[in-house]
Amino acid sequence: MVRKLGTAVGCLLILVWCLLPVAWIISLSFKTQESITVGNPGFLPAEGTNAGWQNYIDVWDNEQFRRAILNSVGIALIATVASVILGTLAAYAIARLEFKGKKFVLTTALAIAMFPVVSLVGPLFDMWRTLGLYDTWPGLIIPYMSFTLPLAIWTLTAFFREIPWELEQAAQVDGATSWQAFRKIIVPLAAPGVFTAAILTFFFAWNDFVFGISLTSTENARPIPAALSFFVGADPFNRPASLLAAGAVIATIPIIVIVLVFQRKIVAGLTSGAVKG
């Protein structure tokens, strides 16, 4: 009993610790600008300063913001899909084939994943301007992919290694081509890995700020995190905090949706029963 109570209290503490900033930003997004400027330290808006949905409507009415959302969704989705497809193929090759330089590929991939993002911004900025990729979607998709691919490859290689060889051989004997065996047997079985990799990639692309702000100059390709920082309003010394809060809340929604959708696919123990353990 005491033990159960302790667990509950512990969980509650952790939840509060994690969710308080989120709760606070939601609270902010429902206060009027005046309420914040005059100082309203309470969690709930003070009397007469409840903005209702007004902040959300204002943010959504902003052309730049809508455009940034579109950029972010598009860039993150394309980067995720491309990275997962490439990662799946590469990981499959690494898990199944014996070839020279296999270790090299894996260690290089890891090294790239550990490389500090900031150090690449300068060179990329120069390169992208020369190549005409500056301030375009591909200009962001490519760096996102190069940083998320290693992660995807490592995750997926681990998953593919778990899948017994015999399944694929059985499929081939049953009349499947190598490609059919891969698509109908291996990929469905590696689905948890594929979706894990997809979530990680999407997170990285969605949350990135450094590339987003350095490699874009207009709303042409500027993603949400960068766009929010450009939300200065009329007075640069008096930033519209409540509008920003509303924007931040809106920016969080797609990621929650994506996680909820993908999470259902991540079912552990999908391979149980394939072979006698």
Phi, psi (degrees; rounded to nearest 5) at 216: -130, 155
Nearer to another protein, 17 or 99 (CB): 99
# binding residues, another protein (CB under 8 A): 24
Residue 50 sits in the site that holds another protein (CB under 8 A): no
Whether the CB-CB separation of 164 and 275 falls below 8 Å is answered with: yes
Contact segment (CB under 8 A) with another protein among 112-120, 161-169, 236-244, 257-265 equals: 161-169
Residue 189 sits in the site that holds another protein (CB under 8 A): yes
Find the binder of another protein among 6, 42, 122, 188 (CB under 8 A).
188
> Among residues 38, 44, 113, which one has the least CA distance to residue 83?
113
Find the binder of another protein among 173, 253, 257, 261 (CB under 8 A).
173
Tokens of 44: 């709930």
Residue 261 sits in the site that holds another protein (CB under 8 A): no
User: Closest approach of Cβ 20 to another protein, in Å?
Assistant: 41
Contact segment (CB under 8 A) with another protein among 35-43, 85-93, 137-145, 159-167 equals: 159-167
Residue 176 sits in the site that holds another protein (CB under 8 A): yes
Tokens of 64: 């730049």
Residue 194 sits in the site that holds another protein (CB under 8 A): no
User: Closest approach of Cβ 180 to another protein, in Å?
Assistant: 7
Residue 169 sits in the site that holds another protein (CB under 8 A): yes
DSSP string, 25-71: HHHHHTB-HHHHHS---SSSPPTT-B-TTHHHHHHHH-HHHHHHHHH
User: Rounded distance, CA 175 to CA 146, Å?
Assistant: 37
Burial status of residue 276 (CB atoms within 10 A of its CB: 0-12, 13-18, 19 or more): exposed
DSSP string, 214-268: HS--STTT--HHHHHHT---S-TTS--HHHHHHHHHHHHHHHHHHHHHHHTT--T
Contact segment (CB under 8 A) with another protein among 18-26, 52-60, 143-151, 177-185 equals: 177-185
Burial status of residue 92 (CB atoms within 10 A of its CB: 0-12, 13-18, 19 or more): buried
Find the binder of another protein among 73, 86, 200, 274 (CB under 8 A).
274
Residue 271 sits in the site that holds another protein (CB under 8 A): yes
Residue 266 sits in the site that holds another protein (CB under 8 A): no
Tokens of 153: 């490859």
Q: Interface residues with another protein (CB under 8 A)?
A: 164, 166-167, 169-177, 180, 185, 188-189, 269-276
